[in-house]
Amino acid sequence: MLYPSVDSMKAKIDSKYILVTLASKRAREIQEVGNKLLPVYKAKKDVGKALEEIVAGALTKTTQDESIIYEDEI
């Protein structure tokens, strides 16, 4: 992958595992809902669009609410 570069994404999100998870969830949201955070994208695919949003600063990670209990944690 040439754009966006891995270094530019690592500057925004320090963990590559969080980066992959965030991008995949956002790509799924773009695919299903279609709400876009940037006016113009270079990428044609949803994963590329999600990565562009991360580099642009339009998409950031949030801390998880510790009080939420997920179904797979029971």
Give mean pLDDT, residues 62-69: 69
Sign of the Cα pseudo-torsion (6, 10, 15, 17, in order): negative
SS3 category, 22: helix
pLDDT digits (tens, 9 = 90+) for 14-46: 788 888 888 899 999 999 998 888 889 898 999
Give the model's pLDDT for residue 12: 76
> What are the sequence ranges of the domains in the chain?
6-60
Give the model's pLDDT for residue 1: 56
CATH class (in words) of the domain with range 6-60: alpha beta
Give mean pLDDT, residues 50-74: 75
Q: Is the pLDDT of residue 54 over 70?
A: yes
